[in-house]
A = this chain, B = another copy of it.
Amino acid sequence: MSQPESTDARPSTTTDATGLADMPDSVAAGAINHAILRVARLHRMLAGQLLRRVGLHPSQELVMMQLWDRGPQRQTDLVRLLGSDAATMTRTIRRLENAGFVRRRPSPTDKRVTIVEPTAASNALRTEVEQVWMDLETSVAEGMTPAQQAEVIEVLGRIEESLARATSQEA
């Protein structure tokens, strides 16, 4: 029953830039998947640790950053900008409102929409959140050369493209 073949998630050194003639079990083992999951988990964990200091939960800072950068937004726009979910956004906005960082206002032209805007009180948060965001970016980029950082962005973009294609096909 047990399949002793390639239970290891990391081939670690397939880094021979030479032949690559073999199409190894890496796909079967899901090496890239595992790597993405580990990165995602660590990234979320670190972001959570940093955001806790400013009193926000992960994802709330993304909403605030959109509002700070782009000004008042409809909830639907926030959903679209963040690739989130309408139901989730409703609750996140409510919590941000209860925390005093956001205000909700009905649209005068369309009675369906509610416009979300950052409060003056939220401005105190802005610097802190941007500091957290920079700390996070620095933690990832530190120890990398600028060329490596550019490579990271390129590679992540490639993955994103693949995933977006697969997701849309799946839908």
- Please list the residues of chain A having a beta carbon within 8 angstroms of any beta carbon in chain B: 1-3, 6-7, 9-11, 14-18, 20, 23-24, 26-28, 30-33, 35-47, 49-50, 62, 68-71, 83, 123, 127, 130-131, 133-134, 136-144, 146-167, 170-171
> Closest CB of chain B to A84's CB: distance in Å?
9
User: Chain B residues with Cβ under 8 A from A28's Cβ?
Assistant: 130, 134, 137
Does B43 lie within 8 Å of A163, measured CB to CB?
yes
- Given A33-B137, A133-B30, A163-B42, A148 and B158 touching (CB < 8 A)? yes
What is the CA–CA distance of A70 and B62 in the complex, to the nearest angstrom? 39
Contact of A149 among B18, B32, B38, B70 (CB under 8 A): B32
Contact of A138 among B27, B42, B44, B127 (CB under 8 A): B27
Does A43 lie within 8 Å of B35, measured CB to CB?
no
Does B140 lie within 8 Å of A151, measured CB to CB?
no
User: Chain B residues with Cβ under 8 A from A41's Cβ?
Assistant: 83
Contact of A162 among B36, B83, B141, B165 (CB under 8 A): B141
Does A31 lie within 8 Å of B134, measured CB to CB?
no
User: Chain B residues with Cβ under 8 A from A123's Cβ?
Assistant: 1
A8's nearest neighbour on chain B, judged by CB, is B69
What is the CA–CA distance of A62 and B9 in the complex, to the nearest angstrom? 12
> Closest CB of chain B to A43's CB: distance in Å?
5
Does B20 lie within 8 Å of A131, measured CB to CB?
yes
What is the CA–CA distance of A165 and B143 in the complex, to the nearest angstrom? 11
What is the CA–CA distance of A43 and B165 in the complex, to the nearest angstrom? 11
